[in-house]
Amino acid sequence: MLFTPIRPPAIGRRMTVHLRDIAVSDLDAVTAIYREAVLSGVASYEIAAPEREEMAARLSAITGQGYPYIAAVGEDGGLLGYAYASAFRTRPAYRWMVEDSIYLAPESRGRGIGKQLLSELVSRCAALGFRQMVAVIGGAHPASIALHQALGFSEIGRMTGSGFKQGRWLDTMLMQRELGDGNSTDPDPACYPGTLFGG
């Protein structure tokens, strides 16, 4: 199990953060973090926050297909945020592209934790043999756009008025970056052991 110590910028109380694989014991905190994001933010286009059982099913589906799912935890073991990769689309030719998702507890924002999570996610997906990562940024949120730009993502398009939430129309920003050799070489079919595409 990967366990990477991180020391984010000191904003307010100094924190020591560790990255590790997500665990079933994190589910209550994952559910709470996502609930806040659904009800208060626009990163997710869900309107009703899923319950713990649904979040457990989603976690199982993602990790069961071999995608990385990473937790950021504080010194007390509490979950500060999480990130995971999943299929961008399920048609087989999309096999080498993943979509990233990152969610942080409100008190964890602005401390560099999102950047550490995304950096680790990029590294793990490249090591698995994926060749492209795409970000689908709900609400075209400036902080999320800046985070992805800092890690080498480029804007590839904007869907105007793609969602309606919290009484307003929302744009969705699409961003992308290469992983590994990108599209300069053929992929190795043996690299990715996930079950999603029967590999």
CA pair distance 59, 98, nearest whole angstrom: 16
> For position 16, what pLDDT does the model report?
82
Asked whether residue 47 is domain-assigned, the answer is yes
Confidence of residue 189 (pLDDT cuts 50, 70, 90): confident
**Average pLDDT score, the chain:** 90
pTM of the model: 0.88
Confidence of residue 190 (pLDDT cuts 50, 70, 90): confident
Asked whether residue 46 is domain-assigned, the answer is yes
Give yes or no for residue 7 having a pLDDT over 80. Answer: no
> For position 12, what pLDDT does the model report?
45
**Which residues, at least 6 apart from 99, have a Cβ–Cβ distance to it below 8 Å?**
85, 86, 87, 88, 133, 134, 135, 136
Asked whether residue 34 is domain-assigned, the answer is yes
Give yes or no for residue 133 having a pLDDT over 80. Answer: yes
User: 97: domain range?
Assistant: 3-178
- Window from 33-47, 71-85, 156-170, 182-196 with minimum mean pLDDT: 182-196
Structure tokens at 145: 């756009």
Asked whether residue 87 is domain-assigned, the answer is yes
Asked whether residue 196 is domain-assigned, the answer is no
Asked whether residue 188 is domain-assigned, the answer is no
> For position 5, what pLDDT does the model report?
37
> For position 188, what pLDDT does the model report?
82
Four-residue CA torsion sign, 119, 55, 72, 70: negative
Q: What is the pLDDT of residues 23-61, one digit of tens each?
A: 999 999 999 999 999 999 999 999 999 999 999 999 999
55 or 190: which leads in pLDDT: 55
- Window from 7-16, 92-101, 124-133, 163-172 with minimum mean pLDDT: 7-16
29 or 196: which leads in pLDDT: 29
Q: What is the CATH number of the domain that holds 64?
A: 3.40.630.30
Task: Report the percentage of the chain scoring pLDDT > 90.
Answer: 82
Domain count within the chain? 1
Average pLDDT of the segment spanning 152-168: 97
- Window from 9-13, 15-19, 71-75, 195-199 with minimum mean pLDDT: 9-13
- Residue 145: CB atoms within 10 A of its CB come to 16
User: In this structure, are residues 85 and 67 in contact, taking their beta carbons and an 8 Å threshold?
Assistant: yes
Asked whether residue 27 is domain-assigned, the answer is yes
Asked whether residue 191 is domain-assigned, the answer is no
